[in-house]
Amino acid sequence: MLWLAIITLESTDLFSSSHTGAWLRALVTAVVGPVSPAWFELFHAVLRKTGHVMGYGMLSFLLFRAWRVTLDWADSAWAFRWAAISFLMTAAVASLDEWHQTYLPSRTGTIRDVFLDSAAALAVQFLLWVILSRRRTRDPQTVAAG
C-alpha cells in the first residue's frame, strides 16, 4: 500500500517534469557545474523514464511477494498465477496512473509510459522466474533445515 501511495504522489503536479526539472537542474549545476540545456533535457528524460522502470518494477516485485504469501498453495518457489496476477495488477496501476495524468494540465499521460511500466513489470516477473524456478521444490525437511 505504501508503494502505491508513492506512485500516486508521483502522479501529481508536484512531480511534473517542470517541477522536477527545476530542482534537478539546480542540483546538477551545484554538483558538476553548468551543463548545456540539450544535455540536461536528455538527462532529465532518461532519469524520469528510469524512475518509471524502477517504480513499476518494484511494484511488480512487491505484488508477487504479496500473492505468493496470500496464495500459498504451490509446491514451488514460483508459480505462474502469482506472476500473472502481479503483472496484470501492475499494468492496471500503470494504466490508471497515466489516465489520471491526462486530467492534469502539467502532466501528460501516454500509452508509451504504460508500455514501459508494463515491460518493467514483465522483466521483473521473468527475473523472478529465472531465480526462483531454480530452487528446489518445497520439502518439509528442507524448509525445517533452511
Please write the tens of the pLDDT for every residue from 59-78.
999 999 999 989 876 677 88
Contacts of 51 (CB under 8 A, 6+ apart): 10
pLDDT of 43 > 60? The answer is: yes
The answer to whether the beta carbons of residues 89 and 118 sit under 8 Å apart is no
> What is the predicted pLDDT for the residue at 127?
97
DSSP character at residue 5: H
> What is the predicted pLDDT for the residue at 140?
52
For 142, other C-beta atoms within 10 Å of its C-beta total: 11
pLDDT in tens, 68-126: 989 876 677 889 999 999 999 999 999 999 999 999 888 888 999 999 999 999 999 99
DSSP character at residue 92: H
> What is the predicted pLDDT for the residue at 138?
54
Most confident of 19-28, 118-127, 130-139: 118-127
- The type of residue at 79 is A
List the one residue out of 23, 28, 136 whose CA is nearest residue 78: 136
- The type of residue at 90 is T
CA distance 107 to 75: 45
What are the φ and ψ backbone dihedral angles of 11, each rounded to 5 degrees? -85, 0
Contacts of 61 (CB under 8 A, 6+ apart): 86, 124, 128
For 35, other C-beta atoms within 10 Å of its C-beta total: 14
> What is the predicted pLDDT for the residue at 146?
46
Measured CA distances, 82 to 11, 92, 93, 139 (Å): 27, 15, 17, 20
pLDDT of 139 > 70? The answer is: no
C-alpha cell of residue 43:
538527462
Q: What is the pTM of this model?
A: 0.81
